[in-house]
Amino acid sequence: MRKARLLPPPRRKEADFSLAIVNIVLLLVFFFLITGSLVQNGEIEIDLAETAELPLERLPRPLLLIDATGAMALDGVPLQADQIAASLGETLPEALYLLADGGLSADRLMALTTRPDLAGLSLRLITLHVRSGGDG
Amino acid sequence: MAGQRAAISLAQEGGRPRKYGFALTPLADAMFQLLIFFMLSSSLSPYSLIALTRGAPAGQSAVLPATADAAASTPEENARMVIWNVTRGQVRAGDQTVPLADLPGVIAALKAQEVDEVLIFPTRAATVQDIATVLEMLGVRGISKVRLVSGSRVGG
């Protein structure tokens, strides 16, 4: 076989998609940063009470998790009810957010509102927003 | 002369200056690490908040809309008030029992009668879901004062 004497074809420059990938991934990171709420272990495993007509909120802190058995964890740290005030620090925050299982007895929830060491602290129940029937 | 030598030493053998390209692969790797971290550690669930207390004295709490007077802690003398016992899936008011699904109609009737305060006693059978449902319906439908009273010994 005779070798061709023509010059080899010019090497085509391969398209570099790195910058496009970085851009897309950066947009995804921004999306998760803006729309997501960082959660601790167990905080997404309970069945929250559901509401449909209240405005949307992000998952706030400090967050007291109360599961169906009544076990509590403050921002991921297991504790007893009488340790909550001490765990919140010397200066109590404005509010304590309760992530309580929807099937939990209301008595357990109400018991927190009567604790003298939590008096003056605004307790706010977190619910899961679900679409109402009318929204489709 | 010395400057010319330095310039020559930086050049490649062919005489053309070496091009230093910006490597994007490590940047893409770091971005992917961040993306995976946020995907695994964040929750996209839509949440809502219901205020159970506003720093009110223990045992009595108020769920008030922003327009209401948060400082009011005792029932007004001429305020029209109803008392509800919340049980599992139902509300008892006097001798009447109303399923939670029918509460919007009841609340509309209360509004028509100018009732502006509801006292809620959760019974032993009530769950957090029942409380959330009742508080949501009252708050959204404009009942100005809702008091959640704990310590009820009423059975469900």
Q: What is the pLDDT of residue A86?
A: 92
Task: Give A61-89 pLDDT, tens digit per residue.
Answer: 899 999 999 999 998 899 999 999 999 98
Which of A56-70, B19-33, B37-51 has the lowest average pLDDT?
B19-33
Question: Taking the mean position of all CA atoms in its chain, how far away is CA B135?
Answer: 13
A103 contacts in chain B (CB < 8 Å): 127-129
Inter-CA distances, B51 with A2, B48, B61, B138, Å: 88, 10, 9, 12
Predicted TM-score of the model (pTM): 0.73
The interface predicted TM-score of the complex, written ipTM, equals 0.77
**Distance, in angstroms, between A23 CA and closest chain B CA?**
9
Closest partner CB to B129 (pick from A50, A118, A129)? A50
Secondary structure (DSSP) of A89-111: -SS--SEEEEEEBTTSBHHHHHH
Chain centroid to CA B134: 15
Contact A103 B127 (CB under 8 A): yes
Burial (CB count within 10 angstroms: exposed 0-12, middle 13-18, buried 19+), residue A26: middle
With tokens 């509004």, the residue in question is: B111
Restricting to A residues 32-51, those with a Cβ less than 8 Å away from any Cβ of B are: 32-33, 35-39, 43-44, 48-51
Domains in chain B (CATH in brackets) are: 60-149 (3.30.420.270)
Those residues with Cβ within 8 angstroms of residue B126's Cβ, 6 or more apart along the chain or in another chain: A105, A106, A107, B86, B87, B88, B156
